[in-house]
Amino acid sequence: MGVFENKFQDNIVVASLDKLIGWARSTSPWFFQFGLACCAIEMMATAASRHDLMRIGMIPRSSPRQADVMIVAGTVTLKMALRVKKLYEQMANPKYVISMGSCATSGGPYWQHGYHVLKGVDLVVPVDVYVPGCPPRPEALIEGLLKLQEKIQSERPLTRKTA
Amino acid sequence: MTVNLEQLIKEAVEKALEGDMDAINNIEDRVTRSRAKASLVKAKREATKEKTETSLDENSDATSDSKKDKTSNEHISELLIQQFPDDINKELSSKKHIQIQPKNWLVISRYLRDDPASLFDSLQCITGVDLGEESDLEVRYNLHSMTHLHAVEIRISCPRNKAKVPSVESIWRIGDWFERETYDMYGIEFEGHRNLKRILLPEDWEGWPLRKDYEVQETYHGIIVPKVKEGWE
């Protein structure tokens, strides 16, 4: 930063563009509501006033085109899996997926005998953060979201990747 | 003195109960007269209580007798045997259900709904049953009458490889979705249903999941469905 030092007035902040983009993306990841089962209740509780997702910049959206994060909350059936995939593809880049609860992560209680249940949403879409629990408490989901924010922050979208 | 008074009251009450109120009214002492009247009222009350108790006992005896004799299943079964002698399987029917041949089920169901003696206006449930890999499939109907407040269970069995039962969707409108669900899970075809397709599973699903010989498909639209989970349990 030596080049810019003492060249501007006091109210100007200098930062690297990579970090600036990371900061902007990570502090307002609007999420796509994907309530499929009982996990949806916990997701709603997380977004409601007691836990208040708005304070970490997350606003629920009902359209995939306005969302950055997809929270898959609940049991994904094979019938729904195709729709999950389609909706994921409709989201604009950069996009992230949180698998909430044991059903979305691995099939959960339907692991062995659920003929109709997708055994993990990562079979269909790439998952960034898995939140364990059946269903996870709001605190657990918030922990997962903060982990995701860390991940977004650490990305360097403008840096050329060297092999 | 008191003994005499009580005897006097007793005699007066007995006379009054037989219809002679003067026996009490002619008592000169006011206190004694009112005591007599009070005991008369008491006696009358006890008499009516006994009467109602005995009549109640008789009534309950009568109703329990008629109920002991026949369940509503047996009662309706008799009606059906008179109307459709060939379609009722008497040996397989019991106090709790009526076994019916599938052939005339549409006619029988219309009779059950419209006949004043049965008037089953409500189809409460349709259940599919797989009786085992070697045996038949079965459909069970639970009917209830809002007018007579009685209920029956009808059972119809059909062979596994040719599972066809007449549809009652045109008789009870609720049967539409009930039959579609039974078709979805057991592959029982309801002949005459106007919109017989899967209701819960996707339309391109293979197989009938609740049959005993169901095998989970290996892939669904390219998604792998793992079959046996080793190292689990």
pLDDT, tens digit (0-9, with 9 covering 90-100), for A81-140: 999 999 999 999 889 999 999 999 988 888 877 888 988 898 999 999 999 999 999 999
Per the prediction, chain A carries an average pLDDT of: 88
Pick A111's closest partner by Cβ from B202, B209, B232.
B232
Q: Return d(Cα A133, Cα A141) in angstroms, integer.
A: 9
Report the residue from A82, A115, A118 with minimal CB separation from B216. Answer: A115
At A65, the pLDDT band (50, 70, 90 cuts) reads very high
Residue ranges in chain B modelled with pLDDT below 50: 60-65
Interchain CB contact of A76 with B (< 8 Å) = no
Residue of A nearest to B231 (CA): A112
Residue B201 with chain A: CB contacts under 8 Å: 79, 116
Q: What is the reported pLDDT for B61? A: 46
Return the bridge partners of B165, or none.
B190
Give the confidence band of A148 by pLDDT, cuts at 50, 70, 90. Answer: very high
Query: What is the CATH architecture assignment of B67-191?
Result: 2-Layer Sandwich (3.30)
Please report which confidence band the pLDDT of residue A2 belongs to, taking 50, 70 and 90 as the band edges.
low
Read off the pLDDT of residues B33-62 as tens digits, 9 standing for 90 and up. 878 887 887 887 777 776 666 555 555 444
Give me the numbers of helices (H) and strands (E) for chain A, helices first please. Answer: 5, 5
Distance from CA of B133 to the nearest CA of A (A): 19
Q: In A65-147, where do the E strands start and end?
A: 69-73, 96-100, 129-131
Sign of the Cα torsion A41, A75, A107, A127 reads: negative
* Residue extents of the structural domains in chain B: 2-53, 67-191
What tokens does B75 get?
């009662």
Res A68: pLDDT:
92
pTM of the entire structure?
A: 0.70
Contact B226 A119 (CB under 8 A): yes
In chain B, what residues touch A111 (CB-CB under 8 Å)?
229, 232
Determine the pLDDT at residue B231. 57
A80 has a chain B CB within 8 A of its CB: no
Which of A111, A115, A123 has its CB closest to that of B224? Answer: A123
Contacts of B224 in chain A (CB under 8 A): 123
Coil, helix or strand at residue A97 = strand
Best of A116, A118, A119, A125 to disrupt the B interface (most B CBs within 10 Å) is A116
Instruction: Check residue B54 and give its pLDDT.
Output: 57
Residues of chain A numbered 86-105 and touching chain B (CB < 8 Å): none
Nearest CA in chain A to B203: A79
